[in-house]
Amino acid sequence: MKPIQDLIPELNVPKKIVITHHYNPDADALGSTLGLWHYLKMKGHDCIVISPNAMPDFILWMPKSETVINFETQTNEASKWLDSSDYLFCLDFNHLSRTKYFAPVLEKFKGQKVMIDHHLSPDESFDYGISIPSKSSTCEMVYDFINSCGDNALINLDIAKCLYAGTMTDTGSFKFPCTTASVHAMVSDLMSKGLKTAPIHEAVYDNYNENRLRFLGFVLSQKMKLITDCHTSIIAISRSELNEYNINTGDTEGVVNFPLSLKNVIFSIFISERENEIRMSFRSKGNFNVNEFARTYFSGGGHANAAGGKSDDSLEKTLEKLTNAILEHKNILQQCYKQSN
Ligand SMILES: [Mn+2]
C-alpha cells in the first residue's frame, strides 16, 4: 500500500471516482464520504458516493445525502459507476468484507483502490491508503487529507457539517480518549468558517421516535443484566422484542453505551437477534480491549474501546458462549477496573 500523499499529484487532473463506506453506515461513514465528495467535486472530479445499503434516518440531513446511490436498490447504476471509474475511495473501513454484499463487486474493481480509515488491523491490499487507529474518526482524517492537499480554504459549510457530525459521534460528543487537541483544533477551524454545532447535535441525537425511547426504557429496566464481579453488563434482545417496539436497524444505535455510565461497569455488550444472524456491539472504558475480545470469540473487531461482532448460533447459545468468555476474562476485567479507579 503506497502512502496517500503519493496520490495527491494524480488528482491534479480530473478523474472519475467512486467513494464508499461500510455496511450499515453511521455518521462517520456518511460524513467522511460526503465530506470528501463535496471536496473532490469542487476540484473538478466526476464522483459519486455509493452506500452498500440503506442509510439510517438520523444522518439523512447531511448536505447532498440525496445524491448517494444505494447499492442494494440501485445495483445497476452502482455497477456502471464502478466499471467506468479510475479510483475507488474506501472510507471508515479497512477490509472489503465490511461492505457485506457489495464486497464481491468491489473486489472486481479494475482501477486504484484507496483506503482512509482509523480501525485496527488494516488489509494491506489497497493501492494507496492511510490507516491511523489513534485518529478520532475518518472525518478527522478527511479533514487532514484536504489540508495536506493545501486546500483548507476550500472547506465550506457543507463539508464542515459532514466532517463535524462524524467526529462528534465517533468521539462520543468529544469525551472518549481519542478526543485529542487536534480534534478540538479542527472543530475550532470549522466553527471559524461559520459552522453552528448545536443544530448538528440536535439533528443526530434529538430525533428519537416515541417507540425508540420507550424501547430504551424497557431495555434498561428489564433487559440489562450485570455480572458484577466482572464489571460487565449484557443486554440481549430477541427478534420478538425488537418487533414489539417496532425497532429498525439504526434504532438500537448507542444503547450499548448506557451501562458504561454505571460506576462499577467497564465492559458493556449489546446483542440483538436480526434476520439472519445475531449482531453484537462491544464497548469498554479504560484498558479492556474489546477489539481483541470481539475478534477472538465473535468474528468481529473495530477499536480498542468499541467493536462489533456476530454469531450464527441461537440467542441462548450465543449468550452461553459470551458468558463463558467473560468469566475467562474475570481477572483481566478486575485488573482493568482497578487501573481505571
Ligand atoms: Mn469511524
Please tell me the distance between residue 244's alpha carbon and the centre of ligand 1 in angstroms.
Answer: 31
Q: What is the dihedral of CA 94, 97, 102, 105, to 10 degrees?
A: 90
Which cell goes with 98? 465490511
Please tell me the distance between residue 224's alpha carbon and the centre of ligand 1 in angstroms.
Answer: 26
Tell me the per-residue pLDDT of 5-27, one tens digit each, with 9 for 90 and over: 999 999 999 999 999 999 999 99
Rg of the Cα atoms in the chain:
20
Q: Assign 253 a pLDDT band (cuts: 50, 70, 90).
A: confident
Mean pLDDT of 287-314: 95
Cα(44)–Cα(97) distance, rounded to whole angstroms?
31
Residue 194 Rama label (left phi>0; alpha psi -120 to 50; beta):
left
Query: What sign results for the dihedral spanned by CA atoms 116, 122, 123, 124?
Result: positive
Please tell me the distance between residue 27's alpha carbon and the centre of ligand 1 in angstroms.
Answer: 8
Look at strands 306-311 and 301-302 and give their pairing.
antiparallel
Please tell me the distance between residue 138's alpha carbon and the centre of ligand 1 in angstroms.
Answer: 5
| H-run or E-run covering 112 | strand 112-117
Cα(120)–Cα(134) distance, rounded to whole angstroms?
9
Please tell me the distance between residue 169's alpha carbon and the centre of ligand 1 in angstroms.
Answer: 9
| Residues with a beta carbon under 5 angstroms from ion ligand 1 | 28, 92, 138, 170
Q: Assign 90 a pLDDT band (cuts: 50, 70, 90).
A: very high
Which cell goes with 123? 488489509
Cα(261)–Cα(156) distance, rounded to whole angstroms?
36
Residue 172 Rama label (left phi>0; alpha psi -120 to 50; beta):
left
Cα(178)–Cα(183) distance, rounded to whole angstroms?
8
Please tell me the distance between residue 291's alpha carbon and the centre of ligand 1 in angstroms.
Answer: 14
pLDDT above 80 (res 211): yes
pLDDT above 90 (res 276): no
Please tell me the distance between residue 283's alpha carbon and the centre of ligand 1 in angstroms.
Answer: 14
Q: Looking at residue 208, what is its pLDDT?
A: 84
Please tell me the distance between residue 137's alpha carbon and the centre of ligand 1 in angstroms.
Answer: 5
> How many CB atoms within 10 Å of residue 196?
12
Look at strands 267-273 and 69-70 and give their pairing.
unpaired
pTM score over 0.85: yes
Mean pLDDT of 49-77: 97
Please tell me the distance between residue 317's alpha carbon and the centre of ligand 1 in angstroms.
Answer: 30
Q: Please, which residues have CB within 8 angstroms of residue 118's CB and are 6 or more apart in sequence?
A: 92, 131, 132, 133, 134, 135, 136, 137, 138, 140, 141, 303
Domains of the chain by range and CATH?
2-205 (3.90.1640.10), 210-339 (3.10.310.30)
Please tell me the distance between residue 248's alpha carbon and the centre of ligand 1 in angstroms.
Answer: 21
Beta carbons of 245 and 215 less than 8 angstroms apart: yes
Nearest to residue 20, comparing CAs of 95, 84, 123, 127? Answer: 95
Tell me the per-residue pLDDT of 148-205, one tens digit each, with 9 for 90 and over: 999 999 999 999 999 999 999 999 999 998 999 999 999 999 999 999 999 999 999 9
Q: Which residues of 212-225 are buried (b: 16+ CB within 10 A; e: fewer)?
A: beebbeebeeebbe
Q: Assign 251 a pLDDT band (cuts: 50, 70, 90).
A: confident
Cα(147)–Cα(264) distance, rounded to whole angstroms?
42
Please tell me the distance between residue 201's alpha carbon and the centre of ligand 1 in angstroms.
Answer: 17
pLDDT above 80 (res 250): no
Nearest to residue 79, comparing CAs of 100, 55, 110? Answer: 110
Q: Looking at residue 207, what is its pLDDT?
A: 84
Which cell goes with 100? 457485506
SS3 96: helix
Looking at per-residue pLDDT, the higher value among 286 and 251 belongs to 286
Q: What is the mean pLDDT of the chain?
A: 96
Q: Looking at residue 97, what is its pLDDT?
A: 95
